Amino acid sequence: MRTLMVFALLCAFPAFAGEGDVHLKDGPGKQLVEANCSMCHSLDYIQMNSPFLDRKGWEASVNKMIKAMGAPVADTDVQKIVDYLASQYGK
């Protein structure tokens, strides 16, 4: 249901064309990051906020997305997402 809704919203915004050109670095956890983060925002937010956050900084960002923004990230995925961000886009 939620997936459907997100899909419908994405399709409703042709003005955001160009987003398809955003490619994250390859590494373990990349697909998890793409699937979870791109639900609500383009992945260039990650590139833009690099490379100056340490592991703690990325952890805080991920936690903010979950706790304040309501991102439905599975508990078991949180560490993998933080690992990817810290290793590929950390300082």
Partner 1 sequence: MKSRREFLKVSAGGLLLAGGANRLGFARAANEFGPAALPSGTLEASQMGSLSGKLPLIKKSFRAPNFETPVAYFNEAFTPNNAFFVRYHLAGIPEAVDASQWKLSIGGESLEKPLELTYENLTRDFEIVEVAAVCMCSGNRRGLSQPHVPGVQWGHGAIGNAKWRGVRLRDLLNKAGLKKEAVEIVLDGADGPVLDKTPDFVKSLPVWKAMDENTLVAFAMNGEKLPHWNGYPARIVVPGWTATYWMKHVTSISAISQPFKGFWMNPAYRIPKGKFPVIDRFVSQETEANTPITEMVVNSLITSPENGKKVRQGEAVMVAGVAWDGGYGIATVEVSEDEGKIWQTAQLGADLGRYSWRQWSHRFTPARPGRHAVLARATNRAGGTQTFELIFNPAGYHNNVVQRVEIEAT
* Residues making contact with partner 1 (CB under 8 A): 2, 6, 9, 12-16, 18-19, 22, 39-42, 44-45, 47-53, 57, 61, 68-72, 89
**Nearest-CA neighbor of 37 among 8, 77, 9?**
77
What's the sign of the alpha-carbon dihedral 81, 58, 89, 83?
negative
CB of 75 to partner 1, least distance (A): 16
Residue 26 C-beta: closest distance to partner 1, Å? 16
The amino acid occupying position 51 is P
Shortest gap between Cβ of 31 and partner 1 (angstroms)?
Answer: 19
Rounded alpha-carbon distances, angstroms, from residue 29 to 45, 64, 83: 17, 19, 8
Q: Per DSSP, what are the bridge partners of residue 53?
A: 90
